[in-house]
Amino acid sequence: MMKAVSIESGEASKAIGHHGVNRGLSVFDLILRIVAIVGTLAGAVAMGTAEQTLPFVTQLVQFSAQYDDFDTFKLFVIVNAIICAYLALSLPFSIYHIMRSRAGKSRILLIFLDAIMLVLLTSGASAAAAIVYLAHNGNSSANWFSICQQYTDFCQRSAGSLIGSFGAMASLVLLIILSAVAISRR
């Protein structure tokens, strides 16, 4: 009789331990989502406000560069905005997982959407990185000259905006691994 009671209480404390760890994972999930929201928002805003007008004017043209002169940078801003919105919408689910650590189907839905968003963000950020790299280094065989000697501010801003995006990518990778661990522990 005594033995049976002790086993039961042992199982109960084990179940609480499991719940505790899963709740910890869910809290970490919420924090990572907020980090990714800040990253994508910072990336979109930094790139979206990147513009520079050079202080000299020739007879016909004034030299200026803006993020929307480059289609890839426009895509980058749109992709970051989409992912920022998705992450904001996913926050209630994340909070729900903290309260109900046994929820299963909503976790599977989230891991699936997170993965799609990771691929989308990787695509936008990599394409922008390719153009930023070209802006810094130019390409001699295509006769594309580096524009960063003239447009220093614009280059710094567009390169800086990549940091937020790549930070959000790292957060999404961690989020997917965390969700997979939480699902496998159920």
Name the residue nearer to a copy of itself (CB basis): 99 or 143: 143
Which residues in 160-179 contact a copy of itself (CB under 8 A)? 173, 176
Spell out where the chain has E strands: 51-57, 62-66
N-to-C CA span, the chain: 30
Rounded to whole angstroms, how far apart are CA atoms 147 and 151? 6
Question: Given 3-state DSSP classes, what are the helix, strand and coil percentages for the chain, each rounded to the nearest 5?
Answer: 80, 10, 15
Sole binder of a copy of itself in the list 27, 45, 98, 127 (CB under 8 A): 127
According to the binding rule CB under 8 A, does residue 66 interact with a copy of itself? yes
What phi-psi label fits residue 143: left (phi over 0), alpha (psi between -120 and 50 degrees) or beta? left
Q: Does 145 bind a copy of itself (CB under 8 A)?
A: yes
Within positions 88 to 117, which residues make up the interface with a copy of itself, using CB under 8 A? 115
123 binds a copy of itself (CB under 8 A): yes
Which residue ranges make up the site for a copy of itself (CB under 8 A)? 64-66, 69-72, 115, 118-119, 122-124, 126-131, 133-135, 137, 139-145, 147, 173, 176
